[in-house]
Every structure is written in structure tokens, then in C-alpha cells.
Chains A and B, each alone.
Chain A
Amino acid sequence: MNKEMTTNDKHNRRINWLHDLPFQTILIAFGIVTFFPLVLVVITSLKNNTQFYQSFWLPTFPLQFNNYEVAFSRIWRYIFNSIIYSGSAIILVGALSSIAGYVFARFKFPFKSFIFLGFITLVMVPSVLTLAPRFIMVRDLGLLNTPFALIIAWVSSGLVLSTWLMRSYFESLPQELFDAARVDGAADRQVFFYVSLPLARPMIATVAMTTLIATWNDLIWPLVTITDRDTMPLAQGLMQFSSSFETEWGPLFAGYVISSIPLLLVFVVAMRQFISGLTSGAVKA
């Protein structure tokens, strides 16, 4: 009997495998086309120009690892800046939106819906409408060419969706939990820090990831507010970088590879949150 089961299992696996075969074939073809440009960039990043013009498609030897040294010395500053800027934005958005979301979700106070409307209506306002006047505002505040121009603007646009997400999350938590904490003698502040925040960890991760992707990829806002090279974030720096290596393909592509590493690391470490951070961007497009 036992033996019969295992042969049956094997048989099933064979059938499943055969069933999957046509779909797998198409997906593999799709996968190859997807990764092909990336692989070519990596291959080219290890060539010097002579090798590049000799052989376009295949890797050539010796591999030019010093391309990476050259590229890194020019691009590390932008990556460093971006990590600082996006990091600050993430911390601020996370802190402010979880507090505001909590206040909106769990308390009743005069003018609450009016104030909440002040947050939520902004979901309808596209960034393209506010771009020019916001530049004027930042200029008049004297923030041009400072990291604050980026961080503060990113935080405020990130807050709109994040507060909404946090509020919905805190609303979905059962009231009994908070009652229990209060019965145990916890003060408001303690309930927030020791009960609510730990529970909201998945949502905070989503908010952090949404903010990371949005700020990391923003190009337009830095273009209008930052002109000083040492202050530029990665997206803008890459434009500078690519025009300074116009026809030196090796170092150029080495720089491209290097600048993809930070998000790659985040992707590997926190895949689930990365993906959920992507989909919650659907609400504010």
C-alpha cells in the first residue's frame, strides 16, 4: 500500500511537470528577454573600449575590474547622499504618519473629520500641478541647493498616502486590545509605543518601502531644486555621471551596476515588504 502511494506520487509529479512544460517554456523565453539587457550591461561593464568595439555580445578577457574602481570613485557620493536623504524621509514619514494615523483612528475630537479631509483630499492632487509653485515656495524659504529641499518635500508628499494607510490599519485592530492595555494601567503614550506600534510593524514596513521607492527614483524634483554636485541624490547624479562618461562604455556600465546594488540588497533582505510597498502605490498614482 505504501509502495503504491509513492509510485502514484511520482506519477502525479510527472503529470504536473508535463502539464507545466508549455507554460514554463514561454515563461523562460520571457525571462531570458527580461534579463538579457541586464546581463549585457554587466558583461560590458567589464570591458574597455577596444574590447567593446571588437566584440559586442560576448565577454572578453582580461576582465577590466578597474572600471568599477573608476566608476565607484565618481558615483559613491550620490549613492551616499541618496541613502541619507531617503533614510531621513523614511524615518520622518514613518514617525509622523504612524502618530497621525493613530490619532485619527483611535480618538474622537472636535474638527477631526475636517482635519482628516485636509490630509486625504491631497490624494487627488497630482505632483505635476504643484511642481512649479512648490519650487517657488522652496526658493522663497531659501532651501534651494540644500538637502532639506528634497527631504521636506518628499516627507510632505509621502505623508498623504502613509497617514491614510496607517489610519486604516489602526482602525482594523480590535478595540479589546487597547482596552486590555488600559486595564493593565498603561497610559496613552505607553499604549501607543508598546501595543500599537509593534502591531503595526507590517504596515510601517510597507510605508517605509513605498517612501524608499518613490524617493530613490525621483528625478524631477532634484533637477529643479539642486544644482550643486555634492548635494545631488543618485537619480540626478546618474545623469551627470552618464554625460561625463559619454563614450566610455565600460566605466559607464560599471557605474550603472554599482548604483543598482542598494535596492538589490533591500530586495533580497525584505522581498515581501518590497512587493507590498509596490502595490500600495496603486492608491496614489
Chain B
Amino acid sequence: MTTRITRNSSDLHAISATQKGLMQRIWEAKWLYIALVLPLTLLIIFEWIPAISALYNSMFIWNGGKVHIFVGLENYENLLTDRTFRVALQNLVFFVFFRVIMQTLFPFFAAEMIVNLRSQRWTNWWKIIFVFPMVVPMILNFLIWRFIYNPQVGLLNQTLELIGMGDLARAWLADPNSAMWALSFVRFPWLPTLQFLIILGGLQSIPKEIHESSQIDGAGFWRRMFYIDIPMTRRQITLAMILTMLFMTQRFDLFLVMTDGGPGYSTMVPALQLFQSAFNFLEFGYASAIGVVLFVAMLGLTVLNLKVSAGAVD
């Protein structure tokens, strides 16, 4: 019989457990190990080995096949002087900065409107309405926005023409001056679902009494927002920001689908450069080095995320 965690009557088990040898206890728990073998094997083969391989192979020149030459830290040194990588980092900083502001401000504002409603029915409806665009496959967001930015028949240029600002129309994605901006606004009026739900959840968890007493004290909408709502949803707002940073640092499907880093390198980001190094140029060592740099950059954020999200989402 296996030892079971018991809260009330554990003494008996505890005593017998200390009296038994390690091998005996392992033998008795054999079914538990067997239950864990399959998931553990999967994790070792598809997570642990690749992760360790990335660290190890970042010190090699490797084409993914027979060419496998140890070069020490050369890949990392090359990254320091790689112009593409520098541009990619600058783009990423711009992009993350912009998205963090946008993807916190708009969800917060929408959520603030929703919690101000007295109608319970509409509170639920609006939540559903703003989550709805999630049913559109992610790739379609990009494809639809590619259509919006289309120079000839795109929604954006058509709208500009309709309101008499046709001379502002341009090839948004093909123009290096506008490409990064255009990408920053992809999915724009659609709220980032996760961030929206987190902030809304935070606002909804503020006790009703606090809002009522602030109303009695004569606090209006803005005062209430700045002195009650923002301070009391600090954790959720922080979490939304960290999540945006994490997503934007590692996700590059947006860039791959819409511009593939172009025109020139004007929309290149590190994760996309990693992808291209590995799968277009077969520089798996160099790609691994980029991966390690991104991993280290994200590590702090991830730890922070785990700490904050444990309390902010229920």
C-alpha cells in the first residue's frame, strides 16, 4: 500500500514511513512513478533536451547537421556587433513600449466604463462583446489587418478618402516610415482579451461599499478613478503590462506574416531574426545564441509574472 497524505491520522503512516528503507518506499510507490513516466518522458524529450541543447549549441557553429564546430562565445560576440540585431532590438523596444501603453490604457478604460454601469445585464454583455473577437483565429487578425493596410483597396485608405484625407493614404506596410507604426496598431480597436479580462476582474473585485462611500463623499468619476480604482487594481495593471512585454518579446508571427521584417530591416525583431537564422540560413548556433539572450532578458519578467499573477488572477 502506498503512503497517502493524511491530515488527521498521519502519525501512523509517518512512523511506518521512517522505519522503511528508501528502496522499499520507492517500490511501494511504483504505480505513482508509472503514472508519471509518460508526461515526464515527453517533457524531457520536447522541453528539457531542446532547452539544454539551445544553451549548449549557442557555443557552436552548427548547420543543424554535420557541420558542428565549437567557437566558444563567438556567437555572442557577433551579436554585439551585428547591425541587424541592434536594429531588431531597437524595433522591439519601440514596439513593446507602444504596445504596453496601448494594451493597458484601452482595456483599463473600457473596463472602467463597464464597472461604472448599474445595469448588471449590460455589464455581462459588454464583457462578452469585447471578448468575442477571440473566436477569430489569430492568424486571421493579421490577414484582416493586412487587408486594412492594403494600399489600393484597404479599409484604412478607403476611410481616409471617405473623410476627405485621401492624400494621407499610403502603402502602410511597404513604407519604412510607417511600417512599424502600422504593425503597432494591428488588432487596434479589438481589446487584448487577456489584459482586458484581468483588469476588469480587478475592478470588479473592488468592494461596492468603497464606491458607495466615495460617492457620498462627493467624489466624481475622475477622482474615483485616480484615487480608488487605479491604486486598487495596481496588481492587475502590473500583470497586464508584464504579460504584454512577455508576449511581444517572444511572439513574432505578427511580423512574419505581415512584413517578414521588411522593408529592409525596418520591422525586424530579435525573435524573427532567430527564426530566419535557423530556418532560412541554417545558422542554428547563432539562432540558439539569440534564443539564450531573449531567455535571459525575459527571465526576470517571467519570475515577476509568476509572483504577480499568483495573486492577481483567481
Contact = CB atoms under 8 A, between A and B. Distances in A.
Interface of A: 16-17, 19-20, 23-24, 26-27, 30-31, 33-38, 40-41, 52-53, 56-57, 96-97, 99-100, 103, 106-110, 115, 118-119, 122-137, 139, 152-153, 155-157, 159-160, 163, 175, 179, 188, 213, 216-217, 219-220, 223-224, 234-235, 238-239, 242, 249, 256, 259-260, 263-264, 266-267, 271, 274-275, 278-283, 285
Given A131-B278, A220-B252, A239 B257 contact: yes
B116 interface: yes
A107 B31 CA distance: 11
A285 B247 contact: yes
Contacts of A128: 250, 252, 271, 274, 291, 294-295
Contact of B57 (A40, A133, A152, A264): A133
Contacts of B278: 131-132, 135
19 contacts: A103-B32, A107-B4, A108-B3, A118-B44, A118-B48, A125-B47, A126-B246, A129-B291, A131-B275, A136-B64, A156-B42, A159-B42, A160-B43, A163-B39, A188-B2, A223-B256, A235-B137, A275-B131, A278-B134
Given A20-B122, A108-B4, A239-B139, A132 B197 contact: no
Contacts of B103: none
Nearest to B310: A283
Contacts of A40: 155
Contacts of A283: 305-306, 309-310, 313
Interface in B249-302: 249-250, 252-253, 256-257, 271, 274-275, 278-279, 284, 287-288, 291-292, 294-295, 298-299, 302
A278 B275 contact: no
A239 to B, nearest CB: 7
Interface stretch (B22-30, B91-99, B170-178): B22-30
Interface in B2-59: 2-8, 17, 22, 25-26, 29, 31-33, 35-36, 38-40, 42-51, 53-54, 57
A31 to B, nearest CB: 6
B117 A23 contact: yes
Contact of A106 (B4, B8, B129, B130): B4
Given A107-B3, A259-B137, A130 B50 contact: yes
Interface residues of chain B: helix, strand, loop or mixed (majority): helix
A107 B294 contact: no
Contacts of A27: 110, 113-114, 117, 126
Given A20-B122, A133-B53, A155-B42, A175 B7 contact: yes
Nearest to B41: A156
Interface of B: 2-8, 17, 22, 25-26, 29, 31-33, 35-36, 38-40, 42-51, 53-54, 57, 64, 110, 113-114, 116-119, 122, 126-140, 143-144, 148, 153, 155, 158, 162, 189-191, 193-194, 197-198, 201, 239, 242-243, 246-247, 249-250, 252-253, 256-257, 271, 274-275, 278-279, 284, 287-288, 291-292, 294-295, 298-299, 302-303, 305-306, 309-310, 312-313
A264 to B, nearest CB: 4
B54 A129 contact: yes
A227 to B, nearest CB: 12
A103 B36 contact: yes
Given A109-B32, A220-B252, 11 more contacts: A34-B191, A35-B129, A103-B35, A110-B25, A119-B40, A128-B291, A129-B50, A153-B46, A156-B42, A163-B39, A275-B131
A220 B43 contact: no
A132 B284 contact: yes
Contacts of B3: 107-109
A97 B42 CA distance: 12
A17 B119 CA distance: 8
A139 B65 CA distance: 11
A109 B30 CA distance: 9
A166 B39 CA distance: 14
B197 A124 contact: no
Contact of B135 (A19, A124, A220, A267): A267
Nearest to B292: A129
Contacts of B38: 96
A219 B129 contact: no
Which interface residue of A155, A216, A266, A279 has the most chain B CB atoms within 10 A?
A279
A282 B2 contact: no
Contact of A234 (B48, B137, B243): B137
A100 B140 contact: no
Nearest to A268: B135
Contact of A279 (B4, B119, B191, B201): B201
Nearest to B139: A235
B45 A137 contact: yes
